[in-house]
């Protein structure tokens, strides 16, 4: 298995034709490691934003997409990619983040229930999973029962595990630091539609637009409603609205 590495927009989009023709068309065991998910390189501006990479890599046949959320799941993702014997993309962040996986945990199922709820659930990936845990605790303090499911394998999705989360939820909120087009939320939405599941669905991500801003990551995330406080407000307001109008968003 060959591992190649670069900053996310360079290795997934500038090299996309090479990935399609030279790797995926022959189903070669090459692992593409991208660094700088979402707005990790905020000070380097739009050329370095990694907000469309999942959409690009999902379109590649036979591509496995791994999106770790902490140091432990990053290490495990390297092992999963190595064992996959197919093209794989590992989406790494930049920096140090809260640990949500234990040393003895596994990511083999691709979906882990960090907080379990039978009412409302956040489905998230990468850096947004640790942020979602904090938001869920804020909502719990406000009297709302909100769980968090971390998706470490975006493609192929573990349909059984995803179905379990969705079918026990009144509403699901997919939170990701990626464009609302083509990311994890799009995969979850397709799954819900294809299986005729009855659940209120919301995507919370970066808008479908060119993000020209550069600067502190937290400042840009707040600008696009992905700070902890703004995610909390979005989910709380949606739940409140649902309760007022009888479960229809």
pLDDT of amino acid 191: 97
Is the predicted pLDDT of residue 247 greater than 90, yes or no?
Answer: no
Q: What percent of the chain has pLDDT over 90?
A: 91
pLDDT, one tens digit per residue, over 219-235 is 999 999 999 999 999 99
Enter the pTM of the model: 0.94
Do residues 235 and 146 touch, judged by C-beta distance below 8 A?
A: yes
The three-class DSSP label of residue 195 is coil
Q: What percent of the chain has pLDDT over 70?
A: 98
Spatial separation of the C-alpha atoms in residues 140 and 130, rounded to whole Å: 15
pLDDT of amino acid 11: 96
Q: Which residues pair with 32 in a beta bridge?
A: 4, 89
pLDDT of amino acid 246: 60
Mean pLDDT of the chain: 94
pLDDT of amino acid 245: 66
Is the predicted pLDDT of residue 249 greater than 50, yes or no?
Answer: no
pLDDT, one tens digit per residue, over 89-123 is 999 999 888 899 998 899 999 999 999 999 999 99
Is the predicted pLDDT of residue 248 greater than 50, yes or no?
Answer: no
Q: What is the DSSP letter of 227?
A: S
Is the predicted pLDDT of residue 218 greater than 50, yes or no?
Answer: yes
Q: Phi, psi (5° rounding) for residue 197?
A: -85, 140
pLDDT, one tens digit per residue, over 124-154 is 999 999 999 999 999 999 999 999 999 999 9
Is the predicted pLDDT of residue 70 greater than 70, yes or no?
Answer: yes
- When pLDDT is averaged across residues 1-13 and rounded to a whole number, the result is 95
pLDDT, one tens digit per residue, over 151-202 is 999 999 999 999 999 999 999 999 999 999 999 999 999 999 999 999 999 9
Maximum alpha-carbon separation in the chain:
54
pLDDT, one tens digit per residue, over 44-59 is 999 999 999 999 999 9
- Extract the tokens encoding 240: 């409140």
Q: Which residues contact 175 (CB under 8 A, 6 or more apart)?
A: 122, 123, 124, 128, 131, 132, 135, 204, 205, 226, 231
Spatial separation of the C-alpha atoms in residues 104 and 119, rounded to whole Å: 29
Angle at CA of residue 91, ends 90 and 92, nearest 5°? 110
């Amino acid at each position: 298995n060959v591992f190649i590495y670069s900053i996310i927009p360079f290795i997934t989009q500038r090299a996309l034709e090479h990935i399609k023709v030279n790797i995926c068309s022959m189903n070669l065991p090459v692992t593409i490691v991208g660094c700088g998910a979402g707005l990790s390189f905020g000070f380097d501006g739009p050329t370095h934003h990694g907000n469309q990479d999942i959409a690009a890599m999902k379109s590649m046949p036979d591509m496995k997409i791994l999106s770790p959320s902490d140091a432990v799941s990053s290490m495990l993702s390297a092992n999963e990619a190595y064992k996959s014997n197919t093209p794989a993309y590992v989406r790494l962040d930049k920096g140090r983040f809260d640990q949500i996986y234990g040393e003895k945990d596994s990511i083999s199922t691709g979906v882990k229930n960090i907080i379990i709820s039978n009412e409302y659930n956040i489905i998230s990936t990468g850096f947004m999973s640790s942020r979602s845990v904090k938001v869920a605790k804020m909502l719990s303090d406000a009297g709302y029962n909100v769980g968090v499911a971390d998706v470490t394998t975006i493609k192929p999705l573990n349909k059984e595990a995803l179905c379990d989360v969705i079918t026990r939820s009144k509403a699901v909120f997919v939170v990701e630091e990626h464009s609302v087009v083509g990311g994890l939320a799009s995969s979850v939405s397709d799954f819900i539609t294809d299986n005729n599941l009855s659940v209120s669905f919301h995507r919370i991500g970066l808008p479908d637009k060119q993000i020209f801003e550069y600067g502190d990551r937290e400042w840009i995330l707040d600008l696009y409603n992905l700070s902890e406080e703004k995610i909390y407000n979005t989910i709380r307001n949606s739940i409140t609205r649902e309760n007022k109008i009888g479960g229809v968003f």
